Amino acid sequence: MSLRDLTLSLLSGIKDPRVRIDVSTTIYYLRDVYSTGRVSEEEIRESLYEVIETIIKVKEPDLLPEERKKKVERLVEQFMDAIKLETSRIRIQRVLRGRLMPPT
């Protein structure tokens, strides 16, 4: 699933437009930061976990803590996979740029 589809799915049921904008902006910011390579994957995962857990707590307040944890972990993995797919070209270009440039 694409990052866009995952984000829309996560936000389904959230009526407040400001919250929807804040959450989606945060997710896309994390994608952009990840693409720079300046922040570790673990830091991105932790931030995604925090955002997704907050939304799940609001959307599904009756989930038991263990169920919520499993759901959030599954969603974090899906979001990370989508982020990696969307940023793979940029990250690979950055790594190979120096090796592919002819000497001057």
pTM of the full structure: 0.86
Overall residue count recorded for the chain in this entry: 104
Instruction: Report the percentage of the chain scoring pLDDT > 70.
Output: 93
Q: What is the CA radius of gyration of the chain?
A: 16
> In this predicted structure, what is the pLDDT of residue 34?
93
Domain boundaries, the chain: 3-100
Question: Rounded distance, CA 87 to CA 32, Å?
Answer: 8
DSSP assigned state of 102: P
Q: Look at residue 91 and tell me whether its pLDDT is greater than 80.
A: no
